[in-house]
Chains A and B, each alone.
Chain A
Amino acid sequence: MADSLYILVVGAGKVGWNLARELIDRSHEVTVIEADRERYLTVEQELEHRLHYGDASELWVLERAGIERADMVIAVTGDDEDNLLICQVAKQKYGVDSIIARVNNPRNREHFELLDVRPYVSATDLIMRLIEHEVPSYGLVHLLDLPEDRIEIIEVLIDEKSPVAGMRVADLEMPKGCLLISVLRADGGFVPTADTVLEVGDEVLAVLDPEIEDELTTYLGVDSGDSQHSGIG
């Protein structure tokens, strides 16, 4: 199969095991490494030869699992230091193109950034993001952040205090470097045209350069307190 990848998954916990199942279903070649003997014996009954027993922090364990030919390494153990270093070694020593690291404690995110281990996934952050999306009192939601590419997508609630409520899109004086991409209204979402009139209660999606976020939110009349930023990676 042309687009079948060789993927190394470190950690056969709930995340690693289910991930392996999904990847195998999609015809990828997968090897999972688990350091806990008991867990290994449980998961081995299903994954069989696809599961290796060992501490993936040790280089020979990674080499035995074929890291040199891996297209992707996913480190999802319950230990942030392990995930961090396994990905660092995969990238820097073995030249693996794609890595994904799991962050257990969101406070450790800064260390992943520092050591340039990206992308990383934090369940806490994802849930926080959903909460922000669900709780209407937050006027601003980050839907996507790609700081390296200087792109983000935000969702902004237009309330009665917003100076742009009732304005036509064509008349907006948005800062340079941003674009309204959708409007979510009670009866569904749509892509706005020049004639679209923004209404109170609209949720507006914009793609923009993160540097002009403050400028844009000020223009749209959103109170962008610091709290909305917390928990976003």
Chain B
Amino acid sequence: MFILIVGIGRVGSTLARTMLSDGHEVSCLDEDPESHARLEVGFEQSWEDSGGQFTVGAGLETDALITAGIERADVFIAATNGDNTNVVIAQIAQKRFEVDHVIARILDPYRAAWYEQQGLRTVCPTRTAIEMLESSVRAISAPDGAEEAEA
């Protein structure tokens, strides 16, 4: 599959490397040229020699999206550090370029839930963190905690 990832921070870069290792074609877009270095962490060859593609540009720039290959993308991942940017570019990928699979990272759980209802596939790390913390705290407080309280 051809996977386009916008936003090459910790999440985007790691995902890009994993997907490339899995044998997919991976194209990355980020407005910061320095983010390219993240892609090569742990790689012996350069990102390009490993088969990856990297474009400098903002996700809102249509030209940059086209250069990065959005027109033939099977999967589009919006993983910049801005919720609003991710929601906008995910909708551009969906509505304008009709990419089959679009996933947006949204940190705000309430908006993630609403956009999910609107037909946008979202991943909400905050929601995941809340759930993990809730279950961790519950595991601590019960059942062992209950026994201690009775004793």
Task: Give the interface of A toward B (CB within 8 A).
Answer: 57-60, 79-82, 84-85, 89, 92-93, 107-108, 110-111, 114-115
Contact of A81 among B60, B95, B114 (CB under 8 A): B60
CB pair B84 A57 closer than 8 Å? yes
CB pair A93 B114 closer than 8 Å? yes
Give the distance in Å from the alpha carbon of A68 to the alpha carbon of B92 in the complex: 27
Residues of B within 8 A of A111 (CB): 60, 88, 92
Give the distance in Å from the alpha carbon of A92 to the alpha carbon of B84 in the complex: 16
Give the distance in Å from the alpha carbon of A230 to the alpha carbon of B114 in the complex: 36
Residue in B60, B82, B96, B110 whose Cβ sees the most chain A Cβ within 10 Å: B60
Within 8 A of A (CB), among B96-122: 96, 108, 110-111, 114, 118
CB pair B96 A114 closer than 8 Å? yes
B83 interfacial contact with A, CB 8 Å: yes
Q: Kindly supply a per-residue 1/0 record for chain B positions 30-68, scoring 1 wherever the CB is within 8 Å of any chain A CB and 0 otherwise.
A: 000000000000000000000000000000111000000
Residues of B within 8 A of A108 (CB): 60
Q: Chain A: interface secondary structure? A: helix
CB pair A89 B88 closer than 8 Å? no
B73 interfacial contact with A, CB 8 Å: no
CB closest residue in chain B, given A58: B108
Q: Chain B: interface secondary structure? A: helix
Q: Write the nearest CB–CB distance from B116 to chain A, whole angstroms.
A: 13
CB pair B108 A84 closer than 8 Å? no
9 closest A-B pairs (Cβ-Cβ)?
A81-B84, A59-B110, A81-B88, A85-B84, A81-B85, A82-B84, A114-B96, A57-B84, A85-B87
Which size class do B's interface residues fall under?
A: 10 to 19
Contact of A114 among B84, B87, B91, B114 (CB under 8 A): B91
Q: Write the nearest CB–CB distance from B78 to chain A, whole angstroms.
A: 11
CB pair B84 A59 closer than 8 Å? no
Give the distance in Å from the alpha carbon of A110 to the alpha carbon of B97 in the complex: 13
Give the distance in Å from the alpha carbon of A191 to the alpha carbon of B1 in the complex: 63
Give the distance in Å from the alpha carbon of A57 to the alpha carbon of B112 in the complex: 12
Residues of A within 8 A of B62 (CB): 110
Contact of A79 among B84, B87, B92 (CB under 8 A): B84
Give the distance in Å from the alpha carbon of A58 to the alpha carbon of B126 in the complex: 14
CB closest residue in chain B, given A92: B118
CB pair B111 A58 closer than 8 Å? yes
Give the distance in Å from the alpha carbon of A59 to the alpha carbon of B113 in the complex: 11
Residue in B82, B88, B108 whose Cβ sees the most chain A Cβ within 10 Å: B88
CB closest residue in chain A, given B94: A114
CB closest residue in chain A, given B114: A93
Contact of B60 among A80, A85, A89, A93 (CB under 8 A): A80
CB closest residue in chain B, given A79: B84
A81-B85, A108-B60, A110-B62 known; A115 vs B108 contact (CB < 8 Å): no
Q: Write the nearest CB–CB distance from B64 to chain A, whole angstroms.
A: 11
Q: Write the nearest CB–CB distance from B94 to chain A, whole angstroms.
A: 10
CB pair B114 A85 closer than 8 Å? no
Q: Write the nearest CB–CB distance from B9 to chain A, whole angstroms.
A: 17
A80-B60, A110-B62, A114-B92 known; A60 vs B83 contact (CB < 8 Å): no
Residues of A within 8 A of B95 (CB): 114-115
